Structure 1
Amino acid sequence: MQGVIARTEGTDMKVDVGVVGPPDLVSVVEQVAAREYPLLSVHSFAYQNEAKAVDLVRSGRGSVDAWLFTGIIPYTLAQEAGVLDRPATYISYTGASLYRVLVGLLARGLDTEHVSIDTLERDQVVEAFRDAALPVDGVKVLEYRRGRDSARFADFHRAAARGNPRTVAITCVRSVYEALSGDVETIRLSPAVASVRAALRTVVLSCVGRVSADAQVVLGFVDLSDPDPELPDDVSALAGSVFSVHQGRYVLVTTRGVLEESSNGFQHLPLLSQLARRHLWAHVGLGVGRSAAEAEALARHALARCRSVGPFSAVVSLGTGSDIVLAEPEKEQKPDGPVPLLVAARRSGLSRATLGRLKTMLESHEEEGVTAGDVAAALEIEPRSARRTLKRLERAGVAQPIGRVLAGTTGRPPTIYRIRLE
């Protein structure tokens, strides 16, 4: 897998990203990456005109793991030329960037009723103008579409200015800005830092997907009260990579087999106990998916669930419509005590209604333990599903194997479980 994340050192994943765009925007990306993605190595591929983007990509294909373009036009040119053979994306220009420009126009006393804007979607433009309480009747928009290049955008702005000399041109393209300067009042739109950050994260996650293509991916968001330089050492047991995405927010990457083993079958997470000793809160949301994108979506869901569980919590989302809450460090259940229904539901991912039916069955059950057959009858499910249910309860610390049924059975004897619910 040469050229695509072929390097990992310890728990730190190294990603070389080639950034293609005008020098000033490439510099912005470098600053954001240095501040928030210290494990990224940014390589500058700056141009004076986007027409040079294809040649720059051709020249640097052997030196980077992924490409990030500062706009959609150079990205599309490279894509159509067939030179993109590894993860690539571009920075999106949003209504937030336009809103910032509109505030600047008002501060300078320039006309905001007659404006021509390229690249952005019209809905984004209308929303930004309404947020600024500005009329939109005199606003002209030429959205980006394939085949619309800088010359087409420049002609659009000139036509708008001929219709009304007070028109202000707002462009996302440096070459358009330079072509119009001196003829039309022109402002160049720059992407918001949030857009740069999101694009960098997309590049990293795309590379993670390639690294873990041979296994079920586990991607986790670790949200801490403070930045933690010791975290890479803590995750060594997970044989994973970890990198910072923001102050106190980290992304963890590993595989399902490693996570399942280190958490004793999704029962508890030693990492959480280590974090609890150093932080005011620690939330670990883990998503298990068949791709990095799927795992990321599940991890975000799991992290949101963590916040409702408690200050120190870890949740695994398996993508089956249920979550597993791992034992909290200060609240790990004693082996002999019964487990409340709410706690059991959180840990096992089973519904309270299902656990309530089990509890009703246990109260009328004369024997000390139950088998998968008993559970299947109580819940009206297949024996195979009942065995899976008991395994989930075992991993959650709610059920404990205490023996096997030896008399009157053929084949593998059924396991007897003690289930502790209150």
Structure 2
Amino acid sequence: MESVVLQYHEFSCIPISYWDDDEIVEKLTMHMKDVDMWLFSGQIPYGFAKKWAGISQPMFYVPSSGSSLYKTLLHISYNQKIPFDQISFDTFHPSELERVFLESEIASRPLYLKHYEEEIHTDEVVRYHYELWKSGKTMAAVTCLKNAQHELNRLGVPAFRVLPAQSAVVSTLALIRQTHETLHFKETQIAVQMIEFDSFSSLTKDTFSTDEIYKIEIKMTEKLLEYTKKINGSLKSAGPGRYVIFTTHGILREMTKDFTMVPDYAILQLKGHDAVTCGIGIGQTAYEAEINAGNALLHSKEFGKGSTMVVFDDKTIVGPLGQHEQIKYGFASEHLQLLSEQTSLSVATLSKLESILRKTGKTEINAHDLAQHMRIMPRSARRILTELESKGLAQVIGEDNPHPRGRPRKIYQIILKQDTK
């Protein structure tokens, strides 16, 4: 892979090797600030990196291609004389492996295959091949993993590795180049911040007057002009207490640390209840970005004063920024629209719920946890869950009682994926 990458001068390569799966995250962490894109040699390191979710840069891996497998099978057949039905394989998709056998006019079909979609420990792959060989079912193993091949050979198993094909590496590099060009275009997209603050929050009974409100507005405008200059933007007023700032995607992405943190409002010198509520919109045009910023502001208000949400050009919604529990959801999918029609819940509420379940990796939740994730009152969360239960989209599967003297909390299993036809 490295030899192929070095043929392309637009790429600068940093080789990273590992021998144990547990080293992967540590190795990646060491180079987080040194790379623009990640290219993995296969699905296992890619899967571990994806599960870790600590990488913000785009990730790619070189797929195992048929051409390399043909070469390996030819070597085994010609030099080793091992029957194909006595070989174990890993990584390949069953349909792909069967296609290779069919095109090669191999009479038998692949009997032993360890296929995986996400991350898997190399030890599990080694154990799969070794147990088959030890029991006499196979005479050799074909693996896509360098570490697995070394370990199998150490155990006495004849193991042959399918190397990444040069054509597959070249194709992946082309995809990386295209992604880089797309990201560069996105950096120059229009970004709009729609900021809203409550002029009345700074007033007292003694200072309550239109003149005082006007003074507060002037001071805030002056501060916002400083902030706008800091982000190379353009400021315009959109009514009492509301301002719109035009800038670029790249500048806001950097300021918010890839849309995970609240923009640095230190220059505004805000205190207590003065915290602004903000919506950030990204778009191909200023009009689209401003519309998205308005929608983002509405979603921010749902999460409470001082919240910041983002709506991207693909209508993905992310936030609240700066919160430990951030969620990501979309406006509308067909199945959520159907569920919304069946219930009294909006598509946005259902989409948030779906995002929370995806983030937690569970289908079970209680009203307290739902309220924490969505930043709503527990009674509102209970209403959502009871509404889903009444329509057959949730069912009570148990209770928990973290406080012995308190009321037990019902645990609901959510069934949003059911057939809605």
TM-score by length of 2: 0.42
The structure showing larger relative contact order (alpha-carbon pairs under 8 Å, at least 6 residues apart) is: 1
More strand by share: 1
TM-score by length of 1: 0.42
